[in-house]
Amino acid sequence: MLFWKNKKPQPEDYDKENWKPVLKCSICNGEQVAGFWNIHTGQFKEECFIRNHAELLSFQQKYGIETDLEKIY
């Protein structure tokens, strides 16, 4: 007999020693892009465009981020 278990989706992993999750915000029009900022080189990798709070929560759940994201301009 097979029993199907509903597994919780596991958060995706990222290099926490070198990359920091941030929100890149535009001063002009208020656009926000969630992504990762390399703390050594300053490089930014875009992950997704944030249009509302639900998309921000989705990004945080996808990567297991429990704190508020720092905003960079």
Token look-up 């930014």 returns 44
Point out which residues pair with 46 in neighbouring strands.
Answer: 35
Q: Six-digit token pair at 70?
A: 């720092």
List b or e across 9-44, with b for residues whose CB sees 16 or more CB atoms inside 10 angstroms.
eeeeebeeeebbbbbbeeeeeeebebbbbeeeeeee
10-64 confidence digits (pLDDT tens): 777 888 999 999 999 999 998 999 999 999 999 999 999 999 999 999 999 999 9
Tell me what pLDDT residue 71 has: 95
